[in-house]
């Protein structure tokens, strides 16, 4: 609720106009039957001027009500759209500042639902609340008072109708609330299934999994439909019950009045407004039901959004951290001291007590078996995960104490699975450095051995990359990711199997460029092929999260049986360009 109040505050003027307009509409609705009664009386007594006068008032009041209604809806809609847009933006910004652990703990599909469907629910809640918050109590209390005032002898009809409606609807709304919670969970699942299927469409097709995927989706959709249908049934049940109760109330009122109409003929004029008030009470109760269902759904969503917004993120903590000029970054050494890391929810540590030192400007190669923790180490060095124990020090400064934005400015990483974004090649490259000159971009493209294909496109750097970079080959994606990291002119460059899809000649050229033009840059190169790191100043051999060998290529060949084994298995294969 606090979240909603915070985001609604800037709209207080529009909120006031909406609420005043809706209140005016409620009063106009309540006043109309009074004029109706006067008209009925005048019709019975054949007073045509009174009929006309009250008719005109009635019409004016109805017009005022309509005008107030339109104004209320207009402003309520502006406020609800505005509040929803502001929350959406703030939530998006918050998610951008999430650590990988945080994204993983929610799952990306779940976060998408929190950004879309949940926000829509909150928008509905704001819209309905603004339209009903004062209208319902005014209409409800006003119609009860005026109904009893119009025909005091029928007070019991009013009371009985309210009691019966409240009793019958209480249970229905409680059940609806439970179903809304379930719906949110099923929508999350639905989204995950659709996202995974579309992202992995090639695998799905090549393994003939369309049928299985359809079945999974159909099962989830069937569950969603079942819950939605139950809510529909409850709604459908509610309306006839309400109508039945209200018609019974009207029938009782008419029956009772018919017995005394001869002694008090003026009651004939009062029965029409009385019935109108009964209907207004019913309307108010229906609106109350509606708002409570919107509220139960909206508050479930609001809670889910508040959970995201309440997450503590690194950006919020940047205050105590030191800023470092990029040129002064990593001028002495990179020290990894006793680094231990366990993934969230995993039982065993992936990195176990890792320690090594690397002088600035040197190249560290890392090889090891599958799943030995190489990529995890890269992610920790890039500060995308935080160590559980131990630390990484740059020139004696623990990385957590360095302003995170400065860190990311100075460190370039090329991940094992390259990720590019839809838009031009230039837009992707500039993520590394928005101020880069055209010559810088072209140099990075050449260094990453991407010039061959980029400059054969008629539009060159302006060439559009499609969604999920579907119009690029694996090797092209790798080259562009490397170029993006090089545009940054990083002080620390981390390459995680970043040249695996390059042919031996191109890979060798990349190595030469890194050696020649990035001499000042400290490099950490993870590779499957020893050939990719053979000239590194130091090579680490990882196995099951531990360092099992460390030294130059020659030293390791002499000392590490594990390294020898890898080397012998790769010797003579393509890619060995010693
Ligand atoms: N996000 C994650 N959540 C939980 N466990 C993970 C996650 N990423 C990796 N792991 C686990 O951590 C271990 C190390 O993975 P990592 O990717 O670091 O290995 P690697 O040496 O780079 O492997 P490869 O050579 O196959 O790329 C593996 O057992 C893997 O299952």
- Residue 563 neighbours by CB distance under 10 Å: 23
Position 317 scores a pLDDT of 59
CA–CA gap between residue 22 and residue 73 (Å, rounded): 8
Which residue, judged by its Cα, is nearest atom 30 of ligand 1? 371
3-state SS class at 260: helix
| Distance between Cα 349 and ligand 1 center (Å) | 11
Which residue, judged by its Cα, is nearest atom 29 of ligand 1? 371
* Ligand 1 binding pocket mutation candidate from 371, 533, 545, 546 (most atoms within 8 A of CB): 371
- CA nearest 485: which of 472, 498, 474? 498
Query: Domain containing 11 — which CATH number?
Result: 1.20.1560.10
The alpha carbon of residue 366 and the mean position of all alpha carbons in its chain are separated, in whole angstroms, by: 36
| Distance between Cα 347 and ligand 1 center (Å) | 13
Question: Are residue 225 and residue 140 in the same domain, yes or no?
Answer: yes
Position 195 scores a pLDDT of 81
- The answer to whether residue 204 is domain-embedded is yes
Compute and round to an integer the Cα radius of gyration of the chain.
35
Task: Give the distance between the most distant pair of CA atoms in the chain.
Answer: 120
| Distance between Cα 250 and ligand 1 center (Å) | 72
Residues 6+ apart with CB under 8 A from 147: 154, 158, 274, 277, 278, 281
What DSSP line would sit under 95-141, residue for residue? Answer: HHT--HHHHHHH-HHHHHHHHTHHHHHHHHHHHHHHHHTTHHHHHHH
Domain edge (last residue) among 312, 338, 371: 312
| Distance between Cα 433 and ligand 1 center (Å) | 29
Question: Are residue 179 and residue 34 in the same domain, yes or no?
Answer: yes
Question: Are residue 305 and residue 341 in the same domain, yes or no?
Answer: no
- The answer to whether residue 575 is domain-embedded is no
| Distance between Cα 168 and ligand 1 center (Å) | 56
- CA nearest 498: which of 507, 487, 508, 488? 507
Domain edge (last residue) among 263, 279, 312: 312
- The answer to whether residue 485 is domain-embedded is no
Question: Are residue 355 and residue 283 in the same domain, yes or no?
Answer: no
- At CA 419, angle to CA 416 and CA 424, rounded to 5? 145
- Residue 297 neighbours by CB distance under 10 Å: 23
- The answer to whether residue 174 is domain-embedded is yes
3-state SS class at 524: strand
Question: Are residue 365 and residue 406 in the same domain, yes or no?
Answer: yes
Range of the domain at 401: 320-421+493-570
- Residue 216 neighbours by CB distance under 10 Å: 15
- The answer to whether residue 211 is domain-embedded is yes
- Ligand 1 atom nearest the C-alpha of 497 is 27
Question: Are residue 277 and residue 403 in the same domain, yes or no?
Answer: no
Question: Are residue 366 and residue 401 in the same domain, yes or no?
Answer: yes
Domain edge (last residue) among 282, 312, 342: 312
CA–CA gap between residue 257 and residue 246 (Å, rounded): 16
What DSSP line would sit under 60-105, residue for residue? Answer: HHHHHHHHHHHHHHHHHHHHHHHHHHHHHHHHHHHHHT--HHHHHH
| Distance between Cα 100 and ligand 1 center (Å) | 14
Position 374 scores a pLDDT of 95
Position 575 scores a pLDDT of 46
Structural domains of the chain, count? 2
Position 205 scores a pLDDT of 75
- Ligand 1 atom nearest the C-alpha of 373 is 18
| Distance between Cα 496 and ligand 1 center (Å) | 12
Question: Are residue 102 and residue 155 in the same domain, yes or no?
Answer: yes
Which residue, judged by its Cα, is nearest atom 7 of ligand 1? 343
Task: Tell me the pLDDT of the chain (578 aa) as tens digits.
Answer: 788 899 999 999 999 999 999 999 999 999 988 888 888 888 888 888 888 898 898 899 999 999 999 999 999 999 999 999 999 999 999 998 888 888 888 888 889 889 998 999 999 999 999 988 888 999 999 999 999 999 888 899 999 999 998 888 888 877 887 887 788 788 888 888 888 888 777 777 777 778 888 888 899 999 999 999 998 888 888 888 888 998 999 898 888 888 877 777 777 778 888 999 999 999 898 888 878 777 878 888 999 999 999 998 765 556 677 888 878 888 899 999 999 999 887 889 999 999 999 999 999 999 998 899 999 999 999 988 888 899 999 999 898 888 888 888 899 999 988 888 988 999 999 987 888 899 999 999 999 999 988 889 898 889 998 877 788 888 899 999 999 999 999 999 999 998 888 888 888 899 899 988 888 899 999 998 888 898 899 999 999 999 999 999 999 999 988 899 888 888 765 444 44
Which residue, judged by its Cα, is nearest atom 16 of ligand 1? 373
Question: Are residue 254 and residue 346 in the same domain, yes or no?
Answer: no
3-state SS class at 517: helix
Which residue, judged by its Cα, is nearest atom 28 of ligand 1? 371
| Distance between Cα 104 and ligand 1 center (Å) | 14
- The answer to whether residue 454 is domain-embedded is no
Structure-block tokens of residue 472: 């690029």
- The answer to whether residue 577 is domain-embedded is no
- Ligand 1 atom nearest the C-alpha of 345 is 4
* Strand ranges (E), 310-401: 333-341, 351-359, 363-368, 389-394, 397-398
Question: Are residue 348 and residue 398 in the same domain, yes or no?
Answer: yes
Question: Are residue 292 and residue 348 in the same domain, yes or no?
Answer: no
Residues near ligand 1 (Cβ within 6 A): 104, 343, 346, 350, 368, 370-376, 416
Question: Are residue 250 and residue 328 in the same domain, yes or no?
Answer: no
- Find residue 397's DSSP bridge partners: 394
pTM of the complete model:
0.70
- The answer to whether residue 283 is domain-embedded is yes
* Ligand 1 binding pocket mutation candidate from 365, 376, 385, 417 (most atoms within 8 A of CB): 376
Position 573 scores a pLDDT of 57
- CA nearest 502: which of 420, 418, 379? 418
| Distance between Cα 98 and ligand 1 center (Å) | 20
* Ligand 1 binding pocket mutation candidate from 99, 101, 341, 343 (most atoms within 8 A of CB): 343
Position 547 scores a pLDDT of 94
Query: Domain containing 347 — which CATH number?
Result: 3.40.50.300
| Distance between Cα 372 and ligand 1 center (Å) | 7
């Amino acid at each position: 609720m606090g979240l909603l109040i915070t985001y609604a505050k800037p709209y207080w003027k529009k909120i006031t106009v909406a609420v005043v307009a809706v209140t005016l509409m409620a009063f106009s609705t309540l006043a109309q039957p009074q004029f109706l009664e006067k008209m009925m009386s005048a019709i019975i007594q054949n007073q045509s001027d009174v009929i006309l006068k009250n008719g005109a008032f009635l019409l004016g009041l109805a017009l005022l009500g309509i005008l107030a209604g339109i104004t209320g809806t207009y402003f309520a809609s502006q406020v609800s759209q505005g509040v929803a847009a502001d929350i959406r933006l703030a939530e998006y910004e918050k998610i951008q500042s999430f650590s990988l652990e945080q994204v993983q703990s929610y799952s990306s599909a779940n976060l998408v639902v929190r950004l879309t469907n949940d926000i829509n629910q909150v928008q509905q809640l704001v819209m309905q609340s603004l339209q009903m918050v004062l209208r319902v109590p005014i209409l409800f209390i006003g119609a009860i008072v005026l109904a009893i005032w119009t025909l005091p002898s029928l007070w019991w009809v009013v009371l009985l109708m309210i009691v019966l409606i409240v009793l019958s609807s209480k249970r229905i709304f409680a059940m609806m609330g439970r179903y809304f919670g379930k719906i949110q969970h099923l929508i999350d699942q639905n989204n995950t299934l659709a996202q995974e299927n579309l992202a992995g469409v090639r695998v799905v097709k090549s393994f003939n999994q369309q049928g299985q995927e359809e079945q999974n989706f159909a099962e989830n959709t069937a569950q969603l439909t079942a819950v939605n249908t139950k809510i529909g049934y409850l709604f459908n049940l509610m309306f006839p019950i309400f109508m039945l109760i209200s018609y019974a109330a009207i029938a009782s009122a008419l029956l009772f009045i018919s017995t005394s109409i001869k002694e008090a003929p003026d009651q004939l004029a009062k029965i029409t407004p009385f019935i109108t008030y009964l209907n207004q009470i019913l309307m108010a109760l229906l609106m109350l039901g509606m708002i409570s269902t919107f509220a139960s759904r909206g508050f479930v969503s609001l809670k889910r959004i508040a959970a995201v917004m309440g997450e503590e993120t690194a950006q919020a903590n940047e205050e105590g951290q030191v800023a470092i000029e990029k040129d002064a970054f990593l001028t002495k050494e990179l020290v990894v001291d006793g680094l231990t890391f366990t993934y969230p929810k995993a039982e065993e540590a992936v990195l176990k007590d890792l320690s090594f030192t690397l002088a600035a400007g040197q190249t560290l190669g890392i090889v090891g078996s599958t799943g030995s923790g190489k990529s995890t180490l890269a992610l920790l060095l890039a500060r995308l995960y935080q160590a559980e124990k131990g630390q990484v020090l740059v020139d004696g400064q623990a990385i957590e104490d360095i302003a995170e934005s400065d860190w990311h400015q100075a460190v370039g990483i090329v991940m094992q699975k390259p990720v590019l974004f839809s838009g031009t090649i230039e837009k992707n490259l500039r993520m590394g450095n928005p101020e880069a000159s055209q010559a810088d971009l072209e140099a990075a493209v050449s260094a990453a051995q991407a010039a061959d294909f980029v400059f054969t496109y008629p539009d060159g750097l302006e060439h559009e990359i499609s969604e999920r970079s579907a119009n690029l080959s694996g090797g092209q994606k790798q080259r562009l990711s490397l170029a993006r990291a090089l545009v940054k002119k990083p002080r620390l460059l981390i390459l995680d199997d970043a040249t695996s899809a390059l042919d031996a000649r191109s890979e060798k050229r990349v190595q030469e460029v890194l050696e020649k033009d990035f001499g000042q840059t400290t490099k950490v190169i993870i590779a499957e092929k020893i050939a990719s790191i053979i000239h590194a100043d130091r090579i680490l051999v990882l196995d099951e999260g531990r360092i099992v060998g460390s030294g130059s290529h020659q030293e390791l060949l002499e000392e590490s049986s594990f390294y020898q084994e890898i080397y012998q298995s790769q010797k003579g294969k393509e890619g060995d360009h010693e």
